[in-house]
Structure formats: structure tokens, C-alpha cells
Amino acid sequence: MAQIKLGELLIKANVLQESQLKAALAEQAKWGGKLGEILVRMNLVSEDILVRALSKQLAIPAVNLDAVKEIPPHVLNRVPVQTARDFSVLPLQLRDDGKTLVVAIADPLNVRQLDELRGVTKCRIVPNVAGRTAIARAMARFYEETAELGDADTNFKVVDSQGRTVVKHMSDVPGAAAVAAAPAPPPAPATTSAPRGALSREIPTARGGVNASPVELLRSVEEVQRKEVAALKAMVELLIEKGVFSREEYLAKVKR
């Protein structure tokens, strides 16, 4: 039986409208990328809903990383931290006397990444699907990389379709600093009431959040990354308008 398309699956589940899917597909046609991640970035579906839909579409188990309380150090150490970060993968469990490694991964169909994980860990890899931000939150908890997260207001990563890091720092992109430094629009006023202190805990400042938890720091990083994605899109659009390359050449490069 043919695999149902992700967009069709979300529409049938009544979590996405036809017009919203068309808007996301137009964004994909313009910029490339994975449809699911585009839907999340456009706030059309939540990451949790996307993960459940991918799990059903691909017949791969989904894992709720927020419910995972502990991962033994010898399991975490099976995957180097940089590899885990680059692939958006988190080792969860060793089985079969250490011959099988269960992992949470954002892109369970990426054959190159799975092959490299097999080579690095010397294990058979059993993928479970999880969202990128959920994996990043779990990494912040289990690897306790709060120092790196605290510096992430000036650092980010762009990877190509093969998972290779293309850009690690905004300063690596010519002219990006001026675009990224543009002030963000003021937030819309809240329309519903919230418990006292809830908003103040939601997102700490990128710098100076002395007592911020790893999860709070990660939220600030996600906001910065959203702004940087918008900045990069603006620069690509400008380069296309200037004739540096065509949109077809750009899309061929990112390999949708």
C-alpha cells in the first residue's frame, strides 16, 4: 500500500486545513526544506502533532522525551556529543548486550545519518521519531550544556540536506549582522489571562538570565534562530534579485 502523504494525513486528522497546506507547500517550493518542519515553523501544527503524524506515516515509534527521566551515562557516551547535535539524535537505550542502540532522531529516514551512527556506535540502530526541539531540550537536560546554550544568542547552525554543517555563526554570512540586528516587532498584547508570574518565566533574556533553566534558555535560543532564519531568507531573496544565482539553482543546491 502506498504511503499516505504527510499533508493529507494531517488534513484527514483535522489538524490542518487545505489552504494552510497550500501555503506551506508554496513556502517549500520557494525555499526548499522538509514539509513537516515548515509547518511547525509557520505555527500551523505543533511539533508534538507533527511527530505523531510522522510516526503514523512512517510506521516508526514516537518517543516523548519530556517523559524520559534518566539515560545512563554509558548509553549517552555511545554517540559523541557533536554527532548527536549535528544529527539531532539522542541515544536512549542499549539492548541485546550492547549490540542494539535505540535512539530518538528527528529525521529517521536519513540513511546517511543512520549509516554513520552504525559506524560510530558499532551497534544496530533502532530509530524512534522525536521533534528537533524536544531532542534539544533533552540534550540540555542530560548533557547539561547550559554554558553553550547561554552563548547561543550569537551562535547557530545551518546544515545541508546531507546533515553537514554549512554555517555555524551568523558572522560567517556576509552582511548578515545588519539584517539579524534589526529590531523585532513588539509582541502582541495577550488576549487571555495567565497565572501571576507565568509570562515572566516563559522566555528569559538571551543574555543575563542568571537563574534560567536549560529549558528556558533553549526557548530563547529558538526565538533567536527564528529571527536568523528570517534574516537568511531575506539575504537569499536579495541575492536572487541581484542575479547572483537563480531560485532554481538555490533549490537544486538545498535538494528538497
Q: Where are the domains of the chain?
A: 1-58, 65-140, 146-183+207-256
Lowest mean pLDDT among 66-75, 89-98, 176-185: 176-185
CB atoms within 10 A of CB 125: 21
Q: Helix, strand, coil proportions of the chain in percent (round to 5)?
A: 50, 10, 35
CB atoms within 10 A of CB 242: 8
Q: What is the CATH number of domain 65-140?
A: 3.30.300.160
**Cα gap 217→63, rounded to integer Å:** 23
Please give the pLDDT value at position 221: 62
102 and 135 in contact (C-beta within 8 Å)? no
Separation in Å, CA 27 to CA 21, 71, 90, 190, 207: 10, 38, 29, 28, 32
**Cα gap 156→150, rounded to integer Å:** 12
| Cross-strand bridge partners of residue 240 | none
pLDDT at 71 over 90: yes
Q: Which three cell numbers stand for residue 212?
A: 534560567
pTM over 0.75: no
pLDDT at 250 over 50: yes
203 and 227 in contact (C-beta within 8 Å)? no
DSSP, res 65: G
Q: Where are the alpha helices (DSSP H) in the chain?
A: 6-12, 18-31, 35-41, 47-58, 73-76, 81-87, 111-121, 132-143, 146-150, 176-180, 198-202, 214-241, 247-254
Output 182 or 85, whichever has higher pLDDT. 85
> Mind listing the pLDDT tens digit for each residue in 8-35?
999 998 999 999 999 999 998 988 888 9
Please report, in angstroms and rounded to a whole number, the separation of the first and last CA atoms in the chain.
Answer: 24
Lowest mean pLDDT among 15-24, 114-123, 238-247: 238-247
